[in-house]
A and B are shown apart, each in its own frame.
Chain A
Amino acid sequence: MRLDTALWRALGVYRLAALLYAAGSGAAYYDTWQRPRLGLAVLAGMAVWTAASAWLYGDPRRRRWPLLVLDLALTLAALLASVLVMERARILDGDPTITVSWAAAPVIAWAVHGGWRGGLAAGAAVGAGAVVERGGASQATVNSLVLLLLVGTVVGYVVALARRAEAAHARAVELSAATAERERLSRQVHDGVLQVLALVARRSPDAELASLAAEQERLLRRLVAGPAALPPAGEADLRALLPVGGDVELAAPAEPVLLPAAVATELAAAVGEAVQNARRHGGGRAWLLVEDEPGAVTVSVRDDGPGIPAGRLEEAAAQGRLGVARSIRGRVADLGGTVVVDSAPGRGTEVELRVPRV
Chain B
Amino acid sequence: MSLESEVTVVVADDHPIWRDAVERDLAAAGLQVLGAAGDGEKAVRVCAAVRPQVLVCDLQMPGLSGVEVTRAVVEQGVRVLVLSASGEQQDVLDAVKAGATGYLVKSASTAELVDAVRRTAAGDAVFTAGLAGLVLGEYRRMAAGPPQDDAPRLTERETEVLRLVAKGLTAKQVAERLVLSHRTVENHVQNTLSKLQLHNRAQLVRYALEQGLAD
Contact = CB atoms under 8 A, between A and B. Distances in A.
A195 B110 contact: no
B89 A254 contact: yes
A250 B130 contact: yes
Contacts of A250: 130, 133
Contacts of B166: 251, 287, 289
Contacts of B167: 251, 287, 289, 300, 302, 350
Interface string A238-252: 000000000001111
Contact of A217 (B90, B107, B129, B177): B107
B18 A291 contact: no
Given A202-B108, A202-B113, A289-B133, A249 B168 contact: yes
A218 B87 contact: yes
Interface stretch (B67-75, B135-143, B194-202): B135-143
B86 interface: yes
Interface string A277-302: 00000000101011111100000101
B107 A214 contact: yes
A217 B18 CA distance: 14
B142 to A, nearest CB: 11
B23 to A, nearest CB: 13
Interface of A: 190-191, 194-196, 198-199, 201-203, 210, 213-214, 217-218, 221-222, 225, 249-255, 285, 287, 289-294, 300, 302, 304, 347, 350
Contacts of A198: 18, 85, 106-107
B27 to A, nearest CB: 14
A136 to B, nearest CB: 80
B133 A253 contact: yes
B140 A293 contact: yes
Interface residues of B, number: 36
Given A198-B18, A203-B21, 14 more contacts: A199-B17, A199-B18, A203-B110, A217-B86, A217-B106, A218-B86, A221-B87, A250-B133, A251-B130, A252-B137, A253-B134, A253-B136, A255-B90, A302-B167
A286 to B, nearest CB: 8
B107 A251 contact: no
Contacts of B87: 218, 221-222, 225
A291 B140 CA distance: 8
A210 B132 CA distance: 24
Given A249-B129, A249-B168, A251-B132, A289 B163 contact: yes
B206 interface: no
Contact of A255 (B107, B136, B137): B137
A214 B132 CA distance: 21
B90 to A, nearest CB: 5
B109 interface: yes
A253 B130 CA distance: 9
A84 B100 CA distance: 97
A289 B25 CA distance: 31
Contacts of B132: 251
Contacts of B108: 202
Contact of B107 (A202, A291, A304, A350): A202
Nearest to B106: A198
B133 A251 contact: yes
B137 A302 contact: no
Contacts of A304: 168
Contact of A302 (B86, B130, B134, B168): B168
B45 interface: no
